[in-house]
Amino acid sequence: MNFLIATLIKAGLIAFVLVTALAYLVWVERKVLAHIQLRVGPNRVGPHGLLQPLSDLIKLVFKEGVIPSHVNLVFYLLAPFLAVALALVSIAVIPLGPEVEIFGFKTYLGLTDINIGILFILAIGSLGVYGVALAGWASNNKYSLIGGLRSSAQIISYELPMALAIVAPLLLFNTLSLREIVDAQSGYYLGFIPRWAIFQMPFPQIFSFILFLIAAFAETNRIPFDLPEAENELVAGFHTEYSSMLFAAFFTAEYGHITTSCLVGALVYLGGWQPLWPAELGSDFFPVIVHWFFAAICFWHATQPARWYDKFTMPVVGVVLFVLGGSFLIPFLKPILIPLFWFIAKAGFLIFTFIWIRGTLPRFRYDQLMRFAWLFMFPVAVANLLITGLLVALGEQAK
Amino acid sequence: MSVILFGVFALIAVACAVNLVLQRHPVTSALSLIGVMGSLAVLYLLLGAEFIAAVQVIVYAGAIMVLFLFVIMLLNAGAEEKIPGKSLTAKLLGLPVFLIFLGVVAFLIQKYSSANAPVEFGAFTGGGPREVGRALFTTYLLPFEVTSVLILIAILGAVVLAKKEID
């Protein structure tokens, strides 16, 4: 019974946080892109445009959902549902932190941990293409169809290097459970170099990490691999015929895929919630210092207001940051917050990389896309796998 | 719990399989086949073969069926047309022959299966990736390698045939 209640609470909490985070991811992306392109970005709705996701949502909900007359209705409606369901389900197996004690009740952060967690995520990821492909086909529109076709070809091609890239670190960890994967990356070399997969001996998985990231860009249809929705060639690709909430479903699905890929990348390659340097060297104080540093900046701005209301708003934000930073010092909250901080920081860095790349690179041409997958990524992934396997086997024999 | 899940997913598998044959549009049939693959994966999971279940979804539902769907969409195959007059022999003999076939299959299964060992849910312990890998690379090494050569030959054959079409 306890298990059931705990699971329900966790499921509700995770679903709420995930959906809110996805909405704000759109805001973060627009802001970061705007700053990369020397613009301001959304800044009208709320302070710094912080209420923009809410207003977008209201717009999308109340917009008339036009269903074109020439579509295949069943698949047209099924496609966005499939896309969003498959994009959000992976979060169920992603652990968010170690075992913690809340009010004397021991539980793991994260919904569940299955012993084939990483395979489950690959399986769900490989199913994600159906939403896009069906949407393209059911729309009964040439541009949509080409978008759907491109998407299926692209995802089949990039799934292979992605799976091969992820197998190499799994050889080091000797497990498929995501929680055990993180545990296998605990500890430090020479007392300060973390044993994350990208540093782990006998063969640091840095190449594998880069391959994984590139394949993740392709799997999530992001620039430079956004050929399924290349707007200057295909209008809007597979979602040309979708409007209102059906369009929002595809949008949510895309950001859901990005979040999942970044969480998995942080878990498998960046050591999950293992801190960057050991707690003996004071890594537990790092989140406190970061929060207090930004609190100090806010207080400093309050003394030199650029706008008349800065005198009131800046101290409020500063106090909030100060309290947040201070909560990392409370012994009761510490074991929960510090792993969460490191995990979110790593995943957030990867998400930032996604946006950064979008602001930097142009789109591939279609033949370049395929050549890159089969003639570069695939051989490199195989070579990386073979070298890792050889070194792991030699290490086993030396024992 | 396991029995209920087994019943539900076995029913879904059979319903999807029947739908696969009955539907006249290739895309619907392909999606029904995905439904069959997915329910089969759940059945494997119920038996305790979690690795096989995941591979079933990754390989069949996630890769092969995507390829099927890709080809169907690329050829833009429409619904096949209903042939009005079926032959009288098919109508008359169809059902009896089908029933006889089912009976023969049931008889053979009864006769040759080891009925003394009933299947238990989750009792199969050799379904983890480690066990499957070890079995593939020790006991079944020769069949495994021969199969991969077979697949390679099939791919080469497909490439040769496609190339002839292009030339």
Q: What is the ipTM of this complex?
A: 0.75
Q: Among B70, B125, B131, which would you mutate to test the A interface (most chain A Cβ atoms within 10 Å of its Cβ)?
A: B70
Q: Which residue has the higher pLDDT, A305 or B9?
A: B9
Record the tokens describing residue B73, joined without a space: 């969409």
Record the tokens describing residue A1, joined without a space: 């019974």
pLDDT score recorded for residue A10: 83
Contact B17, B11 (CB under 8 A): no
Neighboring chain A residues of B61 at a CB cutoff of 8 Å: 123, 126-127
* Predicted confidence (pLDDT) at residue B164 exceeds the cutoff of 80: no
Can you tell me the mean pLDDT for B98-116?
Answer: 81
For Cα atoms A391, B126, B4, give the angle at the middle one, nearest 5 degrees: 135
Q: Among B24, B42, B58, which would you mutate to test the A interface (most chain A Cβ atoms within 10 Å of its Cβ)?
A: B58
CA dist B38 and B36 (Å) reads: 5
Average pLDDT, chain A: 83
For Cα atoms A221, A223, A229, give the angle at the middle one, nearest 5 degrees: 55
What's the gap between Cα A271 and its chain centre? Answer: 15
CA dist A77 and A244 (Å) reads: 13
Please tell me which of the candidates A116, A153, A159 has its beta carbon nearest to residue B54. A116
- Give per-residue pLDDT as tens, A52-93: 888 888 888 888 878 888 877 888 888 888 888 888 888 888
Q: Is residue B34 classed exposed, middle or buried when 0-12, 13-18 and 19+ CB atoms within 10 A define those classes?
A: buried
pLDDT score recorded for residue A383: 92
* Predicted confidence (pLDDT) at residue A333 exceeds the cutoff of 80: no
* Predicted confidence (pLDDT) at residue A117 exceeds the cutoff of 80: yes
**Lowest mean per-residue pLDDT among A335-349, A380-394, B120-134, B137-151:** B120-134
Band (B146; pLDDT cuts 50, 70, 90):
very high
B51/A156 Cβ within 8 A: no
A196 and B CB contact within 8 Å? no
Q: Calculate how close chain A gets to B23, using CA atoms only, in Å.
A: 14
Neighboring chain B residues of A133 at a CB cutoff of 8 Å: 66, 69-70, 73
CA dist A327 and A321 (Å) reads: 10
β-bridge mates for residue A100, sequence order = A107
Which amino acid does the sequence have at A174? N
Contact A211, A381 (CB under 8 A): yes
- Give per-residue pLDDT as tens, A138-178: 888 888 888 888 888 888 888 888 888 988 888 888 888 88
Maximum alpha-carbon separation in chain A:
71
* Predicted confidence (pLDDT) at residue B116 exceeds the cutoff of 80: no
User: What are the φ/ψ torsions at residue A71 (nearest 5 degrees)?
Assistant: -90, 160
B61/A116 Cβ within 8 A: no
Band (B84; pLDDT cuts 50, 70, 90):
low
Alpha helices in chain A (DSSP H): 2-36, 52-62, 73-89, 117-127, 129-138, 142-173, 178-183, 206-219, 231-234, 244-268, 286-303, 310-327, 334-360, 366-371, 378-398
Band (B149; pLDDT cuts 50, 70, 90):
very high
Alpha helices in A37-128 (DSSP H): 52-62, 73-89, 117-127
Neighboring chain B residues of A155 at a CB cutoff of 8 Å: 66
CA dist A277 and A283 (Å) reads: 6
* Predicted confidence (pLDDT) at residue A135 exceeds the cutoff of 90: no
Q: Calculate how close chain A gets to B87, using CA atoms only, in Å.
A: 33
pLDDT score recorded for residue A2: 74
Q: Which residue of B has its CA nearest to A140?
A: B76
- What sign does the dihedral A54-A59-A65-A66 (CA atoms) show? negative
Q: Which residue of A has its CA nearest to B66?
A: A152
List for chain B the helix, strand, coil content (%; round to 5).
75, 0, 25
Neighboring chain A residues of B62 at a CB cutoff of 8 Å: 123, 125-127, 129, 159
| Total Cβ atoms within 10 A of residue A336 | 19
A148 and B CB contact within 8 Å? yes
Q: Which residues, including other chains, have CB under 8 Å from residue A387's CB and lie 6 or more apart?
A: A203
Average pLDDT, chain B: 82
pTM over cut 0.90: no
- Percent with pLDDT over 70 in chain A: 98
CA dist A247 and A329 (Å) reads: 44
A115 and B CB contact within 8 Å? yes
- What sign does the dihedral A231-A265-A87-A167 (CA atoms) show? positive
* Predicted confidence (pLDDT) at residue B118 exceeds the cutoff of 70: no
pLDDT score recorded for residue A310: 77
